[in-house]
Amino acid sequence: MSDQNSGGAALASPLDLKTERGRREARRELVWGDHGFLRSRFRNLHRLSDEMYRANQPAPEHIADYARELGLRTIINLRGASPKGYYLLEQEACRHHGVELVDFQVFSREVPTSATVLAAKRLFETISYPALMHCKSGADRAGVMAVLYVHFRQGLPVQEALNQLSLKYLHIRAGKTGVLDFFFQTYLSEGHSRGLSFTEWVTQGYDAAGLKRRFLETRKWKLNLDQLLRRE
C-alpha cells in the first residue's frame, strides 16, 4: 500500500538545516548522493493538464520557480518521506513558498496494489491544484501515477493514458520497471476484454503478487538491464 502523509513527515535526521554544516551536508547529499547535478538543467517537466504537472526530484530553486511560474499549491512526493538531504530541503522549500507537500509512496518495480490505486484516485480528488508530482527521475513512479491521473481525473481510457509510460519521459519497459506496463496491459487483456472498468478490475480480487510472478517468469532475459543502468 502507498504511504501517504500530508504536509511532509518529520523524520529523525542527523542533518540540521539550522546549522551551516547541516545545510551544507544536505546540499551535498542532494547534488551528489541523489544525483541532483544531473537534474540541474534537465527537470523532465511535463504538463499533463491545466492543473497537473510531472517532473523529477526538484531542488529548492526549482520549487521556487514552480511556485512562482506555475502557481503550485501542492507537490506530491512519490518517493516517500526520508531523513536525507534532498527531502529535508524539499520540505523547507515547500513551507517557504506556501506549497503543501504530500508524501505518497509508490514503487517503480512493484505491481500497484488495489489499495494504492484507490488511494491515488482519492488523492487526485482531494488535493489543491495546481499540483506537481515527482519521483527521482520523473520516469517510472511519476509515469504510473500520471497514467492513473489521466484515467481517473481526465477520464481517458487506460489504453490512451498508457502514453505516460514511454521513452519520452525516460521510462524503459525492458527491465524490472516494465512491470508497470505489464500491470496495465494485463488489465486491458484480462479485465477490459471482459467489460470491466479499471476500478472494477483492481477491486475484484486481482492478484498483485501473482501478476508480478508472471511478469518475472516471462521477462527473465531482460531483467539484467536494471543492473546495467543502476536505477533506483
Per-residue tens of pLDDT for the chain, all 232 residues = 455 776 555 566 788 898 989 999 999 999 999 999 999 889 999 999 999 999 999 999 999 999 999 999 999 999 999 999 999 999 999 999 999 999 999 999 999 999 999 999 999 999 999 999 999 999 999 999 999 999 999 999 999 999 999 999 999 998 899 999 999 999 999 999 999 999 999 999 889 999 999 999 887 645 555 544 445 5
Instruction: Please give the distance of CA 205 from its chain centroid, rounded to a whole number.
Output: 25
Q: What is the pLDDT of residue 113?
A: 96
Query: Which residue type sits at 48?
Result: L
Secondary structure E strands in the chain: 4-6, 46-47, 52-55, 74-77, 100-104, 131-134
Strand order in the sheet with 74-77: 4-6, 100-104, 74-77, 131-134, 52-55, 46-47
Q: Return d(Cα 175, Cα 28) in angstroms, integer.
A: 30
66: closest CA among 46, 83, 88?
46
The cell for 122 is 482519492
What's the full length of the chain, in residues? Answer: 232
The cell for 202 is 483492481
| pTM, to two decimals | 0.89
Q: What is the pLDDT of residue 229?
A: 47
Angle at 212 between CA 196 and CA 177, to 5 degrees: 100
Q: What is the pLDDT of residue 218?
A: 81
Is residue 24 within 8 Å of residue 75, measured between CB atoms?
no
Query: What are the structural domains, with CATH classification, of the chain?
Result: 4-172 (3.90.190.10)
